[in-house]
């Protein structure tokens, strides 16, 4: 019996090792994607603008009963306002779903996942555990699948509901953090302005013992991991010859302006505008308003 086991054991190990190696090699690698900047769904727009933002979608998808996807008729939203994507692209289902022309149109119109096999793409039915799968996806795809996901809801609903999104003191997110602290779990909190009532909840967590987090090294210190080298952050407002900064400052004024409108006016990326706005805010020269709007002080 012992001799039999001694013969079978190496064979079993030989079978297990290749299987483990096969699973590792079969693990899906992310597809590199370049996504268009996410825009905030507008607070108001014309019926013609709403129709244009759904036109291409209706060439393949069933029309909704109402012209707007919003529950309240007071707010008019098209398909791409909520989900993203490109509504200018039209498909022709009569060609067949595998026709190269139809496939090319679908790829241009949709926001594509980084892990298509996990989602059984292009099958439109969400797989089991889709909420967990979204953790590995880009925000643009999260919004495409579920615009109400709290990771992207600022863009989907922030124009009208920013106060709710930024969490009042008794929000569900803060209650979760409080329960974690009660169980001696580490809670990291990025502080907000003490003058802004919207940050009262997060600041109260710091007061009650949460770890004030200024950057990744504050987290690494608690975890006992080596610090990452700090990279110098260039303040764009200190460069008088910075064309992007000049464009943004010139487009701003005392009247609140939507950030999306700034991006369109300045013809620069949303990330570049956000960087300039952050620098101006840190200098005390910028004021933020409801509906993702900003003005110079």
pTM value?
0.52
* pLDDT at residue 198, as a whole number: 59
List the domain range (segments joined by +) for residue 126.
47-156
* pLDDT at residue 7, as a whole number: 47
* pLDDT at residue 202, as a whole number: 78
| CATH code of residue 289 | 1.10.10.10
- Reduced 3-state DSSP string for the chain: CHHHHHHHHHHHHHHHHHHHHHHHHHCCCCCCCCCCCCCCCCCCCCHHHHHHCCHHHHCCCCCCCCCCCCCCCCCCCCHHHHHCCCCCCCCCHHHCCCCHHHHHHHHHHCCCCCCCCCCCCCCCCCCCCHHHHHHHCCHHHHHHHCCCCCCCHHHHHHHHHHHHHCCCCCCHHHHHHHHHHHCCCCCEECCCCCCCHHHHHHHHHHHCCCEECCCHHHHHHHHCCCCCCCCCCCCHHHCCCCHHHHHHHHHCCCCCEEHHHHHHHHCCCHHHHHHHHHHHHHCCCEEEECCCEEEEC
φ, ψ at 293 (rounded to 5°): -115, 155
* pLDDT at residue 9, as a whole number: 46
Work out whether the CA dihedral 113, 118, 121, 124 comes out positive or negative: negative
Domain membership of residue 289 (yes or no) is yes
Rounded to whole angstroms, what are the CA distances from 151 to 142, 143, 199, 237? 8, 8, 18, 29
pLDDT band at 69 (very low <50, low <70, confident <90, very high): low
Pair (55, 150) in one structural domain: yes
Question: pLDDT of 121-141, one tens digit each?
Answer: 988 888 888 878 888 899 999
* pLDDT at residue 8, as a whole number: 45
139 vs 232, more confident: 139
Question: pLDDT of 177-223, one tens digit each?
Answer: 777 777 778 888 888 777 666 577 778 888 888 888 888 888 888 88
pLDDT of 52 higher than 80:
yes
Pair (87, 148) in one structural domain: yes
Pair (250, 215) in one structural domain: no
Pair (79, 118) in one structural domain: yes
Q: What is the mean pLDDT of residues 98-112?
A: 94
* pLDDT at residue 120, as a whole number: 92
| Two tokens, residue 179 | 């329960």
Pair (212, 261) in one structural domain: no
Q: How many domains does the chain have?
A: 3
Domain membership of residue 16 (yes or no) is no
Question: Rounded mean pLDDT of the chain?
Answer: 79
pLDDT band at 55 (very low <50, low <70, confident <90, very high): very high
Q: What is the mean pLDDT of residues 112-117?
A: 94
* pLDDT at residue 17, as a whole number: 45
pLDDT band at 96 (very low <50, low <70, confident <90, very high): very high
pLDDT of 163 higher than 70:
no
Domain membership of residue 61 (yes or no) is yes
* pLDDT at residue 247, as a whole number: 87
Among 130, 156, 182, the domain-final residue is 156
Domain membership of residue 81 (yes or no) is yes
129 vs 29, more confident: 29
Q: What is the mean pLDDT of residues 6-29?
A: 51
Pair (145, 180) in one structural domain: no
* pLDDT at residue 123, as a whole number: 87
How many Å apart are CA 7 and CA 134, to the nearest integer? 46
157 vs 144, more confident: 144
Q: What is the mean pLDDT of residues 62-89?
A: 81
Among 223, 252, 269, the domain-final residue is 223
Instruction: Label the pairing between strands 293-296 and 286-289.
Output: antiparallel
| Two tokens, residue 132 | 């967990």
Pair (146, 61) in one structural domain: yes
Pair (80, 129) in one structural domain: yes
| Two tokens, residue 244 | 């992007």
* pLDDT at residue 20, as a whole number: 42
Pair (196, 263) in one structural domain: no
* pLDDT at residue 16, as a whole number: 46
Domain membership of residue 115 (yes or no) is yes
* pLDDT at residue 67, as a whole number: 67
pLDDT band at 32 (very low <50, low <70, confident <90, very high): very high
């Amino acid at each position: 019996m012992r001799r039999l086991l001694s013969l079978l054991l190496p064979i079993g190990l030989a079978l297990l090792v290749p299987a483990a190696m096969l699973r590792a090699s079969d693990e899906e690698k992310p597809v590199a994607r370049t996504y268009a900047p996410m825009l905030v769904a507008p607070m108001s727009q014309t019926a013609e603008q709403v129709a244009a933002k759904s036109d291409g979608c209706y060439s393949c998808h069933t029309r909704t009963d109402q012209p707007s996807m919003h529950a309240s008729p007071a707010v008019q939203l098209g398909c791409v306002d909520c989900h993203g994507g490109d509504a200018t692209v039209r498909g022709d289902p009569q060609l067949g779903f595998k026709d190269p022309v139809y496939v090319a149109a679908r790829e241009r119109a949709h926001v594509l996942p980084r892990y298509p096999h996990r989602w059984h793409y292009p099958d439109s039915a969400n797989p089991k555990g889709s909420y967990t799968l979204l953790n590995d996806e880009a925000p643009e795809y999260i919004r495409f699948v579920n615009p109400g996901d709290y990771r992207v809801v600022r863009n989907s609903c922030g124009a009208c509901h920013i106060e709710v999104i930024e969490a009042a003191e008794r929000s569900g997110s803060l209650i979760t953090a409080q329960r974690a602290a009660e169980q001696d779990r580490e809670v990291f909190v990025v502080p907000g302005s003490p003058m802004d009532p919207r940050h009262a909840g997060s600041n109260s967590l710091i007061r009650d013992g949460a770890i004030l987090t200024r950057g990744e090294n504050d987290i690494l210190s608690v975890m006992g991991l080596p610090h990452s080298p700090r990279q110098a952050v260039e303040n764009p407002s200190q460069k008088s010859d910075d064309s992007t900064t000049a464009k943004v400052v010139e487009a701003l004024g005392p009247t609140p302006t939507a950030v999306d409108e700034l991006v369109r006016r300045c013809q620069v990326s949303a990330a570049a505008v956000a960087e300039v706005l952050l620098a101006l805010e840190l200098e005390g020269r910028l004021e933020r308003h409801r509906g993702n709007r900003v003005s110079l002080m």
